[in-house]
């Protein structure tokens, strides 16, 4: 089988009709390149699968980038702790970026990363297009996606949790207590983890022979206000649920408040299950029954994977799902 020759900067420059220094500026995130020229060069870098050569001057710099779409929840802080723990073990520091969008890193961010160099990037709950993947690869920046929002593109390493199993376990727990009218508040319908948790909920009901009522399924954003609003909506139905699987701990706290405002007691009048097992869940009143998602471990594993990829290890992409576990506390009980 013929060996595929590695494309050079000079070949990219010739095909793009620009100078070698111009291609080098694009690769290194330098700003003084016209947008049209930059796009043309990046298309060719991606087309040919170009990767920057590494040499003696390209050793670790001691920086890991942790990139969030949003950082409004304590959920994000658990991931920060995990990434910092693994970075500390490798004598590295963590730089946190917040994109304020779920569309993945933009060109400005990519250029800043390329200009200052990084040992690797951990991208949390964002979509990563094939083009963005190519831009990172062309700059020889290793990356791992944590809790991917959609199905990761081929060749992209990712770390997630067994969301389907967690949704199944949460719903089975409520069924085992005797609940048959169970509300479900998921996250955004286009998020992979949200769809998996709802699919687990559906599977538990189907296996138990309980019909699925679309009226009981709502889509939120995993935050408190979403749980509060959808909790009120579910509890105002003509035949309200006796239990709600809230899809996240933050939404469960919102359901707690909605129940309190309606004069309902948890768990005497309404059972509630969360998802995540944030530190707040054990000190809430009542303490929250939830599905533990190993957030710290997920981020720590992603950091170790990125660092290993930077050393030339783990060159083949891996997709890892860490197990979830049901944690039974005091927010669930048999229906009255």
Q: Are 146 and 159 in contact (CB under 8 A)?
A: yes
In this structure, are 280 and 305 located in the same domain? no
In this structure, are 133 and 201 located in the same domain? no
- Domain assignment present for 200: yes
- Domain assignment present for 2: no
Residue 71: enclosing H or E segment and its boundaries? Answer: none
Average pLDDT, the chain: 87
In this structure, are 196 and 129 located in the same domain? no
In this structure, are 153 and 187 located in the same domain? no
CA-wise closest residue to 195 among 157, 237, 148, 228: 148
pLDDT by residue (tens digit) across 196-223? 999 999 999 999 999 999 999 999 999 9
In this structure, are 276 and 311 located in the same domain? no
Give yes or no for residue 324 having a pLDDT over 90: yes
Distance CA 119, CA 95 (A): 11
pLDDT of residue 57: 45
In this structure, are 144 and 91 located in the same domain? yes
CA-wise closest residue to 42 among 22, 66, 59: 22
Q: What are the beta bridge partners of residue 115? A: none
Q: CATH number of the domain that 189 lies in?
A: 3.40.50.2300
In this structure, are 198 and 271 located in the same domain? yes
Q: Summarize the confidence of residues 253-280 as an average pLDDT.
A: 97
- Domain assignment present for 233: yes
Distance CA 145, CA 222 (A): 19
Q: Summarize the confidence of residues 178-207 as an average pLDDT.
A: 96
Alpha-carbon distance values, 127 to 40, 152, 158 (Å): 23, 8, 12
Distance CA 2, CA 252 (A): 58
In this structure, are 304 and 267 located in the same domain? no
pLDDT by residue (tens digit) across 22-62? 777 777 666 677 878 877 887 787 777 666 555 444 556 78
- Domain assignment present for 307: yes
pLDDT of residue 105: 64
Number of neighbouring beta carbons within 10 Å of residue 109: 17
- Domain assignment present for 90: yes
pLDDT above 70 coverage of the chain, percent: 88
* Domain total in the chain: 3
pLDDT of residue 103: 59
In this structure, are 26 and 77 located in the same domain? no
- Name the residue range of residue 82's domain: 63-159+295-321
In this structure, are 173 and 250 located in the same domain? yes
């Amino acid at each position: 089988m013929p060996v595929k020759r590695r494309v050079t900067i000079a070949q990219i420059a010739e095909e793009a009709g620009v100078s070698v220094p111009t291609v080098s500026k694009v690769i290194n995130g330098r700003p003084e390149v016209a947008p049209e020229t930059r796009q043309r060069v990046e298309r060719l870098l991606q087309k040919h699968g170009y990767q920057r050569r590494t040499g003696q001057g390209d050793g670790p710099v001691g920086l890991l980038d942790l990139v969030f779409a949003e950082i409004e929840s304590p959920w994000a802080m658990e991931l920060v702790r995990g990434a910092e723990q693994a970075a500390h073990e490798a004598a590295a520091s963590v730089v946190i970026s917040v994109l304020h969008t779920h569309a993945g890193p933009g060109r400005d961010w990519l250029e800043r990363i390329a200009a200052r160099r990084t040992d690797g990037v951990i991208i949390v709950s964002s979509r990563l297009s094939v083009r963005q993947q190519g831009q990172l690869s062309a700059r020889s920046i290793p990356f791992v996606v944590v809790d991917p929002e959609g199905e990761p593109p081929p060749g992209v390493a990712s770390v997630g949790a067994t969301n389907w199993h967690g949704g199944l376990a949460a719903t089975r727990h409520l069924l085992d207590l005797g609940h048959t009218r169970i509300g479900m508040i998921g996250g955004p319908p286009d998020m992979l983890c949200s769809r998996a948790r709802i699919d687990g909920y559906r599977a538990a009901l189907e296996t138990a022979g309980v019909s699925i009522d679309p009226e009981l399924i709502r889509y939120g954003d995993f935050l408190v206000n979403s749980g509060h609003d959808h909790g009120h909506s579910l509890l105002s139905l003509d035949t309200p649920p006796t239990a709600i699987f809230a899809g996240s701990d933050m939404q469960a706290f919102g359901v707690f408040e909605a129940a309190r405002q309606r004069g309902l007691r948890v768990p005497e009048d309404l059972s509630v299950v969360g998802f995540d097992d944030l530190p707040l869940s054990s000190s809430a009143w009542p303490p929250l029954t939830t599905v533990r998602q190993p957030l710290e471990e997920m981020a720590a594993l992603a950091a170790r994977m990125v660092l290993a990829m930077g050393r030339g290890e783990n060159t083949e992409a891996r997709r890892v799902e860490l197990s979830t576990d049901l944690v039974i506390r005091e927010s669930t009980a048999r229906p009255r």
